[in-house]
Amino acid sequence: MTFDLQPTLTGERVEVRPLVPADWSDLHAVASDPLIWAQHPASDRHKEDVFREFFREALESGGALVVIDRQTRRIIGSSRYWDYKADRSEIEIGWTFLARAYWGGIYNGELKRLMLDHAFQFVDHVVFLVGKDNWRSRKAVEKIGGVLDGEVEKSDGARTIVNVKYVIKRASYPEAGA
């Protein structure tokens, strides 16, 4: 069975589907809020030119998803599967952001549960890399069962970014096998 990096997933509150070029305007409208990026290493991602590059990379990644509020049918954010390593039975989930009206855990929790349930059909480990000082995202990953597993330095060519690595193992994931 091949890992589908851009599935359509449906929960009670959110639907997740592959990102497409036509999503630009709606997703940029969400991402243009500077407070979404305030703790993020790329704190200027709310700027159109910076987000345009992020959007381009998301499309090229082959694993980018948009998050839709099932009640309003509006795009409320995005997430991504990345760096699938079949030999290590591992995938990364990241690049997640939601409109501030959807903060507080219910929507992010459902999004991550859908993504984790899908991922654990194919891998034993899901990795989350979070900016070291992004406490809001760190708490969100811990809330869904992420276990801190060290630091990872990434270079974007201009600077080195320190992320913390969290891991969720299928064996310790409550919904695995449910």
pLDDT confidence band for 77 (50 / 70 / 90):
very high
Task: Give the strand order in the sheet containing 160-169.
Answer: 9-10, 14-18, 64-69, 75-85, 90-98, 125-131, 160-169, 147-155
* Residue 177 confidence (pLDDT): 45
Unique residue bearing structure tokens 């994931």? 173
Q: Spell out the alpha helix ranges (H) of the chain.
A: 24-31, 48-61, 106-119, 135-143
* Residue 175 confidence (pLDDT): 63
What's the rounded Cα separation, in Å, for the pair 76 and 67?
6
Q: Average pLDDT of 157-176?
A: 86
Q: In this model, does residue 178 exceed pLDDT 70?
A: no
Residue 11 per-residue DSSP state: -
Q: In this model, does residue 176 exceed pLDDT 60?
A: no
pTM above 0.85, yes or no: yes
Residues across the chain:
178
Amino acid 44 reads D
What's the rounded Cα separation, in Å, for the pair 173 and 125?
10
Q: What is the largest CA-CA distance in the chain?
A: 45
9-124: CATH topology:
Aminopeptidase (3.40.630)
